Amino acid sequence: MRLINKSKNTVLAENLLLADTPFRRMVGLLGKDRLYAGQALLLAPCNSVHTFFMRFAIDLIFLDKNDMVIKTAHNCLPNKSIVLCWCAAKVIELSAGKILSTGTQLRDKIQILD
């Protein structure tokens, strides 16, 4: 699956991984050394993320039920961050710096393509 910022016409990820079960959401990126170029993880449903026991920094994009960006978090360091957004339906975990490099911001429309 691909992840596109439709508002900016930019690619966020060429290889979108899906965590859509309780177990997959619980594990998330734990145990991984990094996200490879072009990878991201979509957690759904989800409205909060932590970085405890992770090995690398990540960017976070919180989406509402219509896949619109309602919150972002940049460079969330390992073992430090708990980020919560009560209104979120989904969270995308990306390599640190990806939000800035793609110009993604609040109210952008995100599209998931098969």
pLDDT at 71: 98
- In terms of residue numbers, what domain contains 13? 2-113
Tens-place pLDDT, residues 15-64: 999 999 999 998 999 889 999 999 999 999 999 999 999 999 999 999 99
Closest CA to 39 of 11, 10, 7: 11
Instruction: Name the burial class of residue 74, with classes exposed (0-12), middle (13-18) and buried (19+) by CB atoms within 10 angstroms of its CB.
Output: middle
- Residue 82: which pLDDT band, with cuts at 50, 70 and 90? confident
> For the domain that residue 76 is a member of, what is the CATH number?
2.60.120.1140
Q: How would you classify the pairing of strands 15-19 and 82-84?
A: unpaired
Domain count, the chain: 1
In the chain, the largest separation of any two C-alpha atoms, in whole Å, equals: 34
Tens-place pLDDT, residues 1-20: 999 999 999 999 999 999 99
Once rounded to an integer, what is the mean pLDDT over residues 103-107?
98
Instruction: Give the residue carrying structure tokens 């710096």.
Output: 97
Rounded Cα gap, residues 94 and 35, in angstroms: 7
What element of type H or E holds 37?
none
pTM: 0.95
pLDDT at 31: 86
pLDDT at 107: 98
Q: How far is CA 11 from the centre of its chain?
A: 13
